[in-house]
């Protein structure tokens, strides 16, 4: 069993598991932090961004000034943003049989894999994962395609040139593999390869393994996966949450008794408690708005935004914010808000019960109805006429490199009355803000990551007791900035195996058993013999048929009849070469009696030596050794076959045959 | 149904149609037709007990008062001791005829197993009543006058299916009677006592399985054991052995009572016979005492911890309650055995041992060093684990007189866990300062670190112990203020994850304590207490830094945050003052500048508890430094006053109440600003006065309205600028709104405000303390009637009279006090105008009578001062005050009512059950 690690990002995993002749890709995450090296794509022409000076080398050489721009001491690539793909060279991805998707954030690299690697398999995901994943991809494509950029920088990626660049460009890894965003056509094609599954549904893969999605409690339709054969069980935990938010709670019980547990997607901000962060979010939002400022919340169009809107729904009246407009701007805003209301079966119990009342499960429906929350596909059109300040705007993209958020950053960045509140944990907020410096607006960092923290993981592992844990290397040591925090790492016994990008792990796990069926007629013919109370043995002579990873013992063919008049025999008449069966032996040899028997048969000068494993009977005259051990007996005599056969027969007298 | 309740649906059992008169509150005219008492002849029938008790020769005195009651046996019912007795409010100290008449029926009911008592609180009340009677008079006489009582007790001896509650009651009742020696003898003669308390009684029967019976048996003996005869009785009936075994009873109540009874018996037997105190030689002690002490010795030698615990508990109680010289002999005899316990590993019953040693150490006769007590204590301190030794160390440090060495050792034990924390987190060795010397014991580290629960428990206890110790005069000196401050700050940093220990132990400690709310709360409390002392400036800076960290942290739970606010206030209070100036020092002001944005954010928290704590903190700060320029400037530069104003409309009533208090305080100090709010852009902001008046008249919850009344009263007292402008209009407005409030506390507070206005108008009342420095009384220069004019104008009297007949007693009492105060004023000043017979007076009196009757619809109209004075004069305010002082159930709380209640309850029990379905 091997694990090919194609992504080094612990929360955007992409691993391939080779297990029992199947090749399973676990998630398909796309690392978008590479976009932080690029200049933002402004929706409206930004004089500030277009007038940034080009970057030149220390010696004054300015050959890169078209590609690289300098802003407040940072250098950015002036080009269409590019993403860091999972490894494609480590394993031939056309051999991947299936891709299992855990949640909509972990499928963003799917078009790159399904459309460009010769992949011919099937992708499995739950319905909300597919629908919301489609929205995320659609939004991404839309954000990038609607601001066409003629220029595509590639010179800087040259290894010799990259070395000369300042950090962080100098340290960017795998830049040659960075790719531009996919197209909507590729998205549609990739999504068409997905087969929908429901929680606890068992899917057979070639008869060899069975895969099952389980609720992971992190997002709508998010799953962990069980991959099991008859005697082995691998659990894949990715992006799970034990908090009571909107999704169905995590199914922990089904993870018990795993041989291997692959653990990814833990919280990215283990020191921030989501509850506290929501409180901070609300307090800062209220403070800003009360002072007449605007609040900008860069966010994804689905996920935490539902919880934030729910908190605000409860909070705005108490904070006296009833008259403040909330705007949600995204090409998929409408679909996201509506989808969330229709996936009732994927919601937590409380929300499910609302559906039967019938009421919308999420209170944002009421916010929309009362005009407190308004949503627009873009800041062009209706929004510009409805827009009034102070207000709160939720919009993407959290990297601040593309999407409507770029415009708001340009618009509001100059006033210290306004605040940008970062809630998505995927991007370093300082790096995200770098191309907007100098910035007067207040910045608040309230990362809300509901995924498992280390305390919860520790409890989970104690409860489900896997034999081996495999996780990204980042989880096996405290974060570099807090090296004393021994609590911020996975602590389990035996220690977790760690992986990093482009590494292949041989999982410490050997296949020991295989389930084999016996045909009924063959079973009928068995004659068990009780050798110990409760243990019976029977010899089986059969032919093992293996097809589609299923093994069946069939009765052996009858001895071949004389072919008679037939001249030719058909290929199917070929039978395996059946040798005469030797009897099986069992029992043990009592040394004293054996020696007496030898003496009776004329052997003298017998010497017995005790060894660690048994005895050696030495026939000194005959220069022969009989080595008797628990599970074997050897007769060692030089070139005297007669003697050996005599001795063998004497040994056999003490054993049972069947 | 307990006595004193007034449900009208109770029916007498004998009323065939169930529609008979109510039972309590009036005498029952006809005797109850209870036929269920199996042997119940008319109580007057002489000699019935002898028939029942098969040949037992009852003394002839049974039916007649003894010729010579022992002196003092019959006491006046009005004796102070009895008057203060534990009669649970039942007023009668003697058995009145009505009760005597009801008693036989009640005894019959009690003795009848078919009529179970539904509510045993009645039995408790009955017992209390009997105790009151017997404490006030002769039990013997009581029994002779009410033979049904003896009959009831005798009835208990029969093998029958009696309720365990009644049996327990009877045992206790017997004990109450037998507490008097003559009555004891009387009951002894009838062999009632041995049969009830001896082997023949419930002790050997099935009833003994009920814990309540065992408890009754013990309590009966406890009451009974008051005189030497009782000791003989106990010895004869072998009760002491039974008590020994009951010490290990499965019911904790029984086990504990058994231990206490042993202590009582030991004390009683050591009081000695009348001819003098017992010998101080242990060998000469009375047999009973010898037996008990022998048992204790045996238990102390035992290998079983429960037995050792029992013995130690008995000794703890003994030394705690009795300080006679013999206790010293007892300790000298037993201390080697106690010391022997310390040699066992682990030390058995450590908690009880600690209790005992502290009890001995606190005992006045024993606390000198001659008993070897200090050595034992020192040895115990070193033998016990840090968790067990903590309470002992605290106890030792609280002792007034003990050796310095022992105190130092105890203090070191107490400080050990904190020393460990400091050592584990110290960047460089030796940084933990004074506490350093206490470390070196690996046991503490082991106790501290094995598990989160152990670590948290030990640290919380240690902090609580030190917090208790700090304000005591006998606290250790020198007090290691700086290391303790360091330890508290370090603990808080560990819990927050902001400490970065370098050692493995420190890292482990950090992992254990991270996010632990219990330790955070305890450490913040302790840190607050430490503000009473001073610390090195760099540590004080650290204190403020860690407090700010907690106030800022989004992960601080609401309770932790509240504690952080409290500690911050205490530290700000203690910050060094510039001489001659009450303002905050520059460092504190700097801190305040950082604090206010945090407070601002907290006031916007979605969690109401946080907003509430923030407002309370603001109120405290404003109250303390509101007049100081530095504070005012910083506060006004922040958004806090504006946010406070907005929180007056918070959806949570507690927060609104706190916002009202904060606004009151801010406004008093002139710190309310009134810019246009975002809700009313361009609109004129309301003044705090009109805001609060609006809350008082419209808020749906009581808390904000009460808070508003408090603020108004304070404003009136402090002559707030908004009030001084037109005080009369202010008072009239507030009283008018308050009088219609449904919340009695608001109305009561209205009376408080009225009183302040009254005092300001008429002058302060005379100080009750003759030595107090009284402010110069502002006597009205004009006649009283004229001085009352403003009061009439604000309709204060209508408010007060209405309150006088308020359905809530505290309001009526307060109003009564106010009017009495006014009448006292009247008496002290000459009031020439009399309007006694004017028609106005009559109409007002008539209106008041209607009000008293419950019809308060009609207003009094404009009252003239003269009319008020006349009405006041004619009212029986003292009488009303007396009536109001009675508890509301005083009418129902009579023994007679209790008896009737019990009878009625038993009778209708079945009916009630039927009604339920």
Q: What is the pLDDT of residues A7-65, one digit of tens each?
A: 989 999 999 999 988 999 999 999 999 999 999 999 888 888 888 999 888 777 878 88
Residue B153 to residue B196: CA distance in whole angstroms: 8
Contact assessment for residue A207 and residue A550, using Cβ atoms and an 8 Å cutoff: yes
User: Per-residue pLDDT averaged across A168-185, rounded?
Assistant: 90
CA distance A324 to chain B (A): 10
Highest mean pLDDT, choosing among A443-457, B140-154, B192-206: A443-457
Tell me how crowded residue B649 is: count the other CB atoms within 10 A of its CB.
Answer: 18
Identify the weakest region by mean pLDDT among A94-98, B53-57, B665-669: B53-57
CA distance B650 to chain A (A): 5
Residue A338 to residue B877: CA distance in whole angstroms: 72
Partner residue opposite B651 with nearest CB, options A282, A317, A446: A317
Contact assessment for residue A227 and residue A17, using Cβ atoms and an 8 Å cutoff: yes
Q: For B468-507, what is the HEC assignment? A: HHCCCCCCCCCCCHHHHHHHHHHHHHHHHCCCCCCCHHHH
Q: Beta A22-26 vs A15-19: how paired, if at all?
A: antiparallel
Q: In what order do the strands lie in the sheet with A373-376?
A: A373-376, A326-329, A392-395, A295-298, A419-422, A442-445
Tokens read off for B211? 């814990």
Judge whether B501 is closer than 8 Å to chain A, CB to CB: yes
- Closest to B49 measured CA to CA, from B37, B39, B61, B64: B39
pLDDT greater than 60 at residue A115: yes
Confidence of residue B31 (pLDDT cuts 50, 70, 90): very low
Judge whether B553 is closer than 8 Å to chain A, CB to CB: yes
Tokens 């873009």: give the residue.
A378
Tokens 């030794």: give the residue.
B389
Contact assessment for residue A36 and residue A399, using Cβ atoms and an 8 Å cutoff: yes
- Alpha-helical (H) ranges within B227-286 are 228-236, 239-246, 252-271
Give the best residue of B497, B500, B606 to mutate against chain A (max A CB count within 10 A): B606
pLDDT greater than 80 at residue B343: yes
Q: Is residue A609 classed exposed, middle or buried when 0-12, 13-18 and 19+ CB atoms within 10 A define those classes?
A: exposed
Verify whether the Cβ–Cβ distance A290 to B605 is below 8 Å.
no
According to DSSP, residue A34 is labeled G
CA distance A328 to chain B (A): 22
From chain A, pick out residues whose CB is under 8 angstroms from the CB of B676: none
Provide the mean pLDDT of chain B. Answer: 79
Judge whether B555 is closer than 8 Å to chain A, CB to CB: yes
How far is C-alpha B261 from the chain's CA centre?
Answer: 26
Whole-structure pTM over 0.95, yes or no? Answer: no
Judge whether A188 is closer than 8 Å to chain B, CB to CB: no
Partner residue opposite B555 with nearest CB, options A276, A319, A482: A276
Contact assessment for residue B458 and residue B441, using Cβ atoms and an 8 Å cutoff: no
Tokens read off for B514? 């991270």
Confidence of residue B190 (pLDDT cuts 50, 70, 90): confident
Tokens 């037939």: give the residue.
A566
- Closest to A498 measured CA to CA, from A487, A490, A488: A490
Residue A221 to residue A129: CA distance in whole angstroms: 5
pLDDT greater than 80 at residue B411: yes
User: Per-residue pLDDT averaged across B83-111, rounded?
Assistant: 70
DSSP B841-871: HHHHHHHHHHHHTT---S---SPPHHHHHHH
Contact assessment for residue A302 and residue A340, using Cβ atoms and an 8 Å cutoff: yes
Tokens read off for B387? 């968790």
From chain A, pick out residues whose CB is under 8 angstroms from the CB of B497: 271, 482, 485
Q: Kindly state the percentage of chain B with pLDDT values over 90.
A: 36
Judge whether A273 is closer than 8 Å to chain B, CB to CB: yes
User: Per-residue pLDDT averaged across B188-202, rounded?
Assistant: 82
Confidence of residue B452 (pLDDT cuts 50, 70, 90): confident
Judge whether B5 is closer than 8 Å to chain A, CB to CB: no
From chain B, pick out residues whose CB is under 8 angstroms from the CB of A290: 604, 639, 642-643, 646, 678
From chain B, pick out residues whose CB is under 8 angstroms from the CB of A323: 678-679
User: Per-residue pLDDT averaged across A111-139, rounded?
Assistant: 96
Q: Please state whether B238 falls in left (phi above 0), alpha (psi between -120 and 50) or beta.
A: left
**pLDDT at res. B277:** 62
From chain A, pick out residues whose CB is under 8 angstroms from the CB of B554: 272-273, 276-277, 279-280, 446
| Among A residues 278-307, those touching chain B with beta carbons less than 8 Å apart | 278-280, 282-284, 286-287, 289-292
Verify whether the Cβ–Cβ distance A290 to B642 is below 8 Å.
yes
Rg (CA), chain B: 36
Verify whether the Cβ–Cβ distance A320 to B555 is below 8 Å.
no
Judge whether B827 is closer than 8 Å to chain A, CB to CB: no
ipTM of the complex: 0.73
Distance between the two ends of chain A, CA-based, in angstroms? Answer: 38
Residue A616 to residue A625: CA distance in whole angstroms: 7
Confidence of residue A378 (pLDDT cuts 50, 70, 90): very high
How far is C-alpha A256 from the chain's CA centre?
Answer: 18
CA distance B614 to chain A (A): 13
Tokens 């030495």: give the residue.
A618
Verify whether the Cβ–Cβ distance B556 to A276 is below 8 Å.
yes
Higher pLDDT, B103 or B904: B103
Verify whether the Cβ–Cβ distance A283 to B506 is below 8 Å.
no
CA distance A304 to chain B (A): 17
Q: What is the pLDDT of residues B115-124, one digit of tens each?
A: 777 677 888 9
Tokens read off for B759? 């005092």
Cis peptide before B128 (omega within 30 of 0): no
Residue B503 to residue B184: CA distance in whole angstroms: 73
Give the best residue of A273, A277, A295, A319 to mutate against chain B (max B CB count within 10 A): A319
Q: What is the pLDDT of residues A420-431, one digit of tens each?
A: 999 999 999 999
Q: Beta A22-26 vs A98-100: how paired, if at all?
A: parallel
**pLDDT at res. A280:** 92
Long-range contacts of A627-630 (CB under 8 A, 24+ apart): A628/A589, A628/A591, A628/A594, A630/A588
Judge whether B604 is closer than 8 Å to chain A, CB to CB: yes
Verify whether the Cβ–Cβ distance A446 to B649 is below 8 Å.
no
User: Per-residue pLDDT averaged across B769-777, rounded?
Assistant: 49
Confidence of residue A68 (pLDDT cuts 50, 70, 90): very high
Tokens 């006030």: give the residue.
B136
Identify the weakest region by mean pLDDT among A568-572, B618-622, B684-688: A568-572
Residue A492 to residue B334: CA distance in whole angstroms: 53
Confidence of residue A495 (pLDDT cuts 50, 70, 90): very high
- Alpha-helical (H) ranges within B604-628 are 608-625
| Among A residues 321-360, those touching chain B with beta carbons less than 8 Å apart | 323
Residue A590 to residue A600: CA distance in whole angstroms: 15
Verify whether the Cβ–Cβ distance A282 to B642 is below 8 Å.
no
Residue A370 to residue A393: CA distance in whole angstroms: 17
Strand (E) or helix (H) holding A619 = strand A614-619
Tell me how crowded residue B569 is: count the other CB atoms within 10 A of its CB.
Answer: 18
From chain A, pick out residues whose CB is under 8 angstroms from the CB of B643: 290
Say what angle helices B481-496 and B517-530 make with each other, to 10 degrees.
150
CA distances from B398 to A112, A248, B474, B593 (A): 76, 57, 7, 41
Partner residue opposite B650 with nearest CB, options A279, A287, A318: A318
Judge whether B600 is closer than 8 Å to chain A, CB to CB: yes
Provide the mean pLDDT of chain A. Answer: 90
Contact assessment for residue A368 and residue A265, using Cβ atoms and an 8 Å cutoff: no
Higher pLDDT, B278 or A495: A495
Judge whether A77 is closer than 8 Å to chain B, CB to CB: no
Rg (CA), chain A: 34
Residue A132 to residue A127: CA distance in whole angstroms: 8
Higher pLDDT, B854 or A363: A363
Residue A394 to residue A375: CA distance in whole angstroms: 9
Confidence of residue B610 (pLDDT cuts 50, 70, 90): very high
Say what angle helices B164-178 and B97-111 make with each other, to 10 degrees.
140
**pLDDT at res. B435:** 58
From chain A, pick out residues whose CB is under 8 angstroms from the CB of B610: 279
Strand (E) or helix (H) holding B321 = helix B305-321
Identify the weakest region by mean pLDDT among B359-368, B843-852, B854-863: B854-863
Residue B723 to residue B307: CA distance in whole angstroms: 71
Verify whether the Cβ–Cβ distance A283 to B651 is below 8 Å.
no
Residue B541 to residue B588: CA distance in whole angstroms: 10
Verify whether the Cβ–Cβ distance B554 to A271 is below 8 Å.
no
**pLDDT at res. A568:** 54
Strand (E) or helix (H) holding A25 = strand A22-26
Q: Is residue A127 classed exposed, middle or buried when 0-12, 13-18 and 19+ CB atoms within 10 A define those classes?
A: middle
Verify whether the Cβ–Cβ distance A273 to B506 is below 8 Å.
no
User: Per-residue pLDDT averaged across A325-333, rounded?
Assistant: 96
Q: What is the pLDDT of residues A188-201, one digit of tens each?
A: 999 999 999 999 99
Identify the weakest region by mean pLDDT among B24-38, B371-385, B746-760: B24-38
Identify the weakest region by mean pLDDT among B20-24, B223-227, B751-755, B759-763: B20-24
Contact assessment for residue A79 and residue A144, using Cβ atoms and an 8 Å cutoff: no
From chain A, pick out residues whose CB is under 8 angstroms from the CB of B608: 318
Verify whether the Cβ–Cβ distance B556 to A284 is below 8 Å.
no
Residue A503 to residue B744: CA distance in whole angstroms: 75
Say what angle helices B558-574 and B586-603 make with each other, to 10 degrees.
160
Q: What is the pLDDT of residues A554-570, one digit of tens each?
A: 988 876 665 555 555 55
CA distance B600 to chain A (A): 8
Residue B419 to residue B434: CA distance in whole angstroms: 9
pLDDT greater than 90 at residue B657: yes
Judge whether A482 is closer than 8 Å to chain B, CB to CB: yes
Say what angle helices B120-136 and B895-916 make with each other, to 10 degrees.
170
The C-alpha angle B155, B149, B4, rounded to 5 degrees, equals: 115
User: Per-residue pLDDT averaged across A613-625, rounded?
Assistant: 86
DSSP B158-222: S-S---HHHHHHHHHHHHHHHTSHHHHHHHHHTTHHHHHHSTTTGGGSGGGGSHHHHHHHHHHHH
Q: How many CA atoms lie within 13 A of A234 on its CB side?
A: 25
From chain A, pick out residues whose CB is under 8 angstroms from the CB of B650: 318
Taking CA–CA distances from A292, the nearest residue in chain B reads B678
Judge whether B518 is closer than 8 Å to chain A, CB to CB: no
Contacts of A89 (CB under 8 A, 6+ apart): none
Verify whether the Cβ–Cβ distance B507 to A486 is below 8 Å.
yes
Tokens read off for B595? 């604090």
Partner residue opposite A290 with nearest CB, options B514, B608, B678: B678
- Closest to B232 measured CA to CA, from B298, B184, B168: B184
């Amino acid at each position: 069993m091997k694990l090919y690690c194609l992504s080094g990002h612990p929360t955007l995993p992409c691993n391939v598991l080779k297990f029992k002749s199947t090749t399973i890709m676990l998630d398909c995450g796309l690392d978008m932090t590479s976009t932080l090296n690029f200049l933002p794509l402004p929706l409206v022409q930004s004089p500030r961004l277009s007038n940034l000076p080009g970057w030149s080398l220390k010696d004054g050489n300015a050959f890169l000034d078209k590609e690289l721009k300098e802003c407040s001491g940072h250098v950015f690539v002036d080009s269409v943003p590019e993403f860091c793909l999972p490894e494609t060279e480590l394993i031939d991805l056309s051999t991947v049989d299936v891709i299992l998707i855990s949640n909509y954030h972990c499928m963003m690299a799917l078009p790159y894999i399904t459309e460009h690697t010769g992949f011919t398999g099937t992708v499995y995901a739950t319905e909300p994962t597919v629908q919301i994943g489609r929205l995320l991809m659609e939004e991404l494509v839309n954000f990038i395609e609607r601001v066409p950029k003629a220029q595509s920088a590639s010179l800087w990626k040259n290894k010799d040139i990259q070395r000369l660049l300042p950090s962080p460009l100098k340290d960017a890894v795998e830049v040659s593999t960075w790719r531009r965003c996919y197209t909507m056509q590729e998205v549609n094609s990739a999504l068409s390869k997905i087969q929908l599954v429901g929680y606890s549904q068992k899917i057979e893969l070639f008869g060899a393994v069975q895969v099952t999605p389980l609720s992971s409690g992190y997002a709508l339709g998010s799953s962990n996966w069980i991959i099991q054969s008859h005697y082995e069980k691998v659990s894949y935990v990715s992006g799970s949450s034990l908090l009571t938010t909107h999704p169905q709670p995590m199914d922990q019980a089904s993870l018990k008794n795993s041989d291997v547990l692959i653990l990814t997607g833990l919280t990215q901000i283990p020191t921030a408690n989501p509850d506290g962060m929501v409180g901070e979010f609300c307090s800062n939002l209220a403070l800003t708005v009360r002072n007449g400022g605007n609040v900008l919340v860069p966010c994804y169009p689905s996920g935490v935004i539902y919880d934030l809107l729910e908190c605000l729904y409860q909070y705005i009246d108490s904070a006296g914010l009833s008259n403040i407009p909330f705007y949600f701007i995204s090409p998929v805003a409408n679909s996201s808000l509506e989808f969330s209301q229709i996936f009732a079966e994927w919601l937590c119990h409380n929300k499910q019960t609302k559906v039967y009342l019938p009421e919308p499960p999420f209170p944002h429906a009421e916010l929309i109805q009362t005009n407190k929350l308004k949503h627009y596909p873009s800041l062009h059109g209706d929004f510009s006429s409805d827009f009034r300040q102070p207000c709160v705007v939720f919009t993407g993209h959290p990297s601040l490199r593309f999407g409507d958020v770029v415009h708001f950053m340009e618009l509001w960045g100059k006033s210290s009355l306004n605040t940008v509140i970062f809630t998505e944990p995927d991007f370093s907020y300082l790096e995200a803000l770098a191309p907007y410096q100098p910035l007067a607006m207040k910045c608040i960092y309230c990362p809300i990551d509901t995924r498992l923290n280390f305390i919860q993981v520790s409890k989970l592992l104690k409860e489900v007791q896997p034999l081996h844990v495999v996780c990204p290397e980042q989880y096996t040591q405290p974060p570099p900035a807090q090296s004393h925090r021994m609590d911020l790492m996975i602590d389990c016994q035996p220690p977790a195996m760690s992986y990093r990008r482009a590494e292949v792990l041989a999982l410490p796990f050997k296949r020991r058993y295989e389930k084999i069926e016996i045909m009924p007629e063959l079973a009928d013919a068995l004659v068990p013999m009780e050798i110990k109370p409760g243990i019976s043995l029977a010899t089986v002579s059969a032919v093992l048929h293996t097809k589609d990873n299923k093994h069946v013992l069939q009765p052996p063919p009858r001895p071949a009849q004389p072919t008679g008049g037939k001249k030719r025999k058909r290929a199917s008449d070929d039978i395996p070469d059946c040798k005469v069966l030797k009897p099986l032996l069992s029992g043990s040899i009592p040394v004293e009696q054996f020696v007496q028997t030898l003496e009776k048969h004329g052997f003298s000068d017998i010497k017995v030596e005790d060894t660690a494993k048994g005895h050696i009977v030495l026939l000194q005259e005959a220069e022969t050794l009989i080595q008797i051990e628990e599970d074997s007996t050897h007769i060692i005599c030089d070139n005297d076959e007669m003697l050996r056969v005599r001795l063998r027969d004497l040994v056999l007298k003490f054993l049972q045959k069947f | 149904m307990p006595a004193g309740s007034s449900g009208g649906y109770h029916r007498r059992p004998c009323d065939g149609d169930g529609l008979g008169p109510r039972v309590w509150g009036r005498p029952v005219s006809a005797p109850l037709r209870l036929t269920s008492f199996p042997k119940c002849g008319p109580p007057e029938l002489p000699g019935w007990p002898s028939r029942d008790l098969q040949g037992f020769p009852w003394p002839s005195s049974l039916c007649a008062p003894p010729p010579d009651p022992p002196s003092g046996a019959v006491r006046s019912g009005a004796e102070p001791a009895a008057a203060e007795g534990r009669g649970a409010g039942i007023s009668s100290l003697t058995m009145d005829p009505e009760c005597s008449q009801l008693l036989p029926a009640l005894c019959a009911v009690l003795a009848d197993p078919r009529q179970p008592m539904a509510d045993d609180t009645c039995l408790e009340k009955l017992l209390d009543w009997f105790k009151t009677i017997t404490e006030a008079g002769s039990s013997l006489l009581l029994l002779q006058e009410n033979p049904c009582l003896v009959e009831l007790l005798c009835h208990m001896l029969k093998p029958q299916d009696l309720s365990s509650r009644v049996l327990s009651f009877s045992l206790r009742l017997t004990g109450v009677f037998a507490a008097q020696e003559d009555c004891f003898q009387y009951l002894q003669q009838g062999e009632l006592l041995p049969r009830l308390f001896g082997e023949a009684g419930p002790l050997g029967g099935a009833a003994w399985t009920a814990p309540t019976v065992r408890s009754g048996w013990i309590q009966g003996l406890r009451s009974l054991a008051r005189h030497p005869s009782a000791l003989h009785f106990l010895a004869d009936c072998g009760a002491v052995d039974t008590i020994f075994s009951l010490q290990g009873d499965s019911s904790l109540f029984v086990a504990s009572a058994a231990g206490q009874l042993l202590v009582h018996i030991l004390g009683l037997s050591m009081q000695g016979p009348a001819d003098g105190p017992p010998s101080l030689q242990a060998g000469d002690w009375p047999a009973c005492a010898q037996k008990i002490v022998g048992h204790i010795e045996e238990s102390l030698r035992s290998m079983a911890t429960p037995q050792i615990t029992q013995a130690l508990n008995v000794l703890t109680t003994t030394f705690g309650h009795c300080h006679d010289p013999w206790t010293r002999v007892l300790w000298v005899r037993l201390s080697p055995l106690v010391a022997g316990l310390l040699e066992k590993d682990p030390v058995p019953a450590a908690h009880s041992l600690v209790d005992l040693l502290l009890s001995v150490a606190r005992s006045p006769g024993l606390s000198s060093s001659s008993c070897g007590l200090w050595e034992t204590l020192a040895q115990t301190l070193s033998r016990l684990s840090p968790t067990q030794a903590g309470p002992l160390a605290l106890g030792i440090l609280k002792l007034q007189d003990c050796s310095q060495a022992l105190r130092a050792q105890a203090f070191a034990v107490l400080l050990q866990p904190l020393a460990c924390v400091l050592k584990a987190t110290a960047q460089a060795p030796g940084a933990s300062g004074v506490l350093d010397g206490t470390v070196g014991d690996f046991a503490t580290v082991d106790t501290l670190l094995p598990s989160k629960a152990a670590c948290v428990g030990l640290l919380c206890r240690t902090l609580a112990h030190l917090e208790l110790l700090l304000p005591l005069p006998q606290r250790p000196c020198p007090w290691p203020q700086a290391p303790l401050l360091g330890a508290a700050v370090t603990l808080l940093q560990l819990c927050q994850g902001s400490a970065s220990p370098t050692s493995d132990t420190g890292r482990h400690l950090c992992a254990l304590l991270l996010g632990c709310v219990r330790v955070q709360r305890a450490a913040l409390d302790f840190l607050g207490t430490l503000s009473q002392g001073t610390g090195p400036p760099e540590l004080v800076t650290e204190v403020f830094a860690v407090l700010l960290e907690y106030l800022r942290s989004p992960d601080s739970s609401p309770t932790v945050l509240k504690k952080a606010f409290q500690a911050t206030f205490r530290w700000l209070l203690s910050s060094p003052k510039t001489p001659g100036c009450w303002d905050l020092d520059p460092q504190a002001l700097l801190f305040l500048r950082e604090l206010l944005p945090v407070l601002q954010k907290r006031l916007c928290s979605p969690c109401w508890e946080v907003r509430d704590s923030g407002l309370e903190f603001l109120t405290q700060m404003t109250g303390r430094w509101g007049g100081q320029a530095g504070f005012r400037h910083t506060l006004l530069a922040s958004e806090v006053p504006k946010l406070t104003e907005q929180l007056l409309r918070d959806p949570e009533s507690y927060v609104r109440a706190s916002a009202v208090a904060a606004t009151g305080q801010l406004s008093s100090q002139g710190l309310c600003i009134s810019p246009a709010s975002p809700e009313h852009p361009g609109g004129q902001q309301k003044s705090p006065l009109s805001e609060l008046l609006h809350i008082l008249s419209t808020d749906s919850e009581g808390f904000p309205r009460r808070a508003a009344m408090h603020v108004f009263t304070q404003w009136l007292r402090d002559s707030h600028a908004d009030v001084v402008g037109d005080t009369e209009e202010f008072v009239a407005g507030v009283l008018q709104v308050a009088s219609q409030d449904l919340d009695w506390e608001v109305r009561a507070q209205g009376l408080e405000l009225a009183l302040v206005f009254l005092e300001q108008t008429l002058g302060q009342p005379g100080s009750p303390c003759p030595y107090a420095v009284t402010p110069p009384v502002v006597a009205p220069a004009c006649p009283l009637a004229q001085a009352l004019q403003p009061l009439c104008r604000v309709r204060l009297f209508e408010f007060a009279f209405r309150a006088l007949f308020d359905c809530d007693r505290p309001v009526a009492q307060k109003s009564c006090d106010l009017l009495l105060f006014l009448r006292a004023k009247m008496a002290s000043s000459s009031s020439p105008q009399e309007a006694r017979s004017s028609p106005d007076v009559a109409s007002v009196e008539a209106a008041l009578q209607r009000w008293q009757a419950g019809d308060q619809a009609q207003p009094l109209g404009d009252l003239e001062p003269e009319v008020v004075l006349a009405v006041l004069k004619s009212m029986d305010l003292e009488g009303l005050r007396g009536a109001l002082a009675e508890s509301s159930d005083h009418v129902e709380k009579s023994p007679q009512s209790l008896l009737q209640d019990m009878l009625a309850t038993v009778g209708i029990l079945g009916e009630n059950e039927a009604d339920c379905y």
